Amino acid sequence: MFRIRAVESPPDAGGLRKVWHRGARHAELVSEIDVTGRVARHEFSLFDDVVIWERGRGFVTGMAQLEGSTRGAANVAFDLTSDPERVQRIAAALEPYSGRDRIIQHLRELVVTTQQGQQPLQDLGAVTGNNKIPDEVLQFSSKAPARSQKPLVWIGIGLVVIAIALALLALR
């Protein structure tokens, strides 16, 4: 997974914040983070493979009805039991990730644990501070505000005035 962009929503009434990660090649991760910075839920889709992990429940797998984006469990046809082949494909996609994003690392560790035959029901520790996602994640998602064209116009006008003044001085 690479070219990650993360976006965070404000907390809902229950204090859960959603953090969206979108990668190249139809990869998307939506995580719900509680007020203590711990993951309550991950929803990861890769093409049409979907895994959803919830604290206290573990993983369920399914197939996205719209390839590349689940946008909620309503668009997923869930498997009757967790599909080890889906988990294997998602583990293979997450394996090369070596970035510092603790949310992606958290999901990766949960998937690896599941692939090893265990069903992790509890999170693996805090992935964020109490009130924000890590700064290293935000640097990828923050969009620079649109620059106003007015300063550029004034610089251009100033350069034209200076050029005219220099031309007038040269003619004297």
Question: Confidence band (pLDDT; 50, 70, 90) for 32?
Answer: very high
The pair of structure tokens assigned to 21 is 């990660």
Following DSSP, what letter does each residue of 51-91 receive, concatenated?
EEEETTTEEEEEEESSTT---SGGGEEE-SS--HHHHHHHH
The residue ranges of every structural domain in the chain are: 5-141
pTM over 0.85: no
Per-residue model confidence as pLDDT tens digits over 66-108: 655 555 566 788 888 888 899 899 999 888 888 888 899 889 9
The helix/strand count (H/E) of the chain reads as: 4, 7
Instruction: Please spell the DSSP secondary structure of 119-132, one letter per residue.
Output: ---S--S--S-SSS
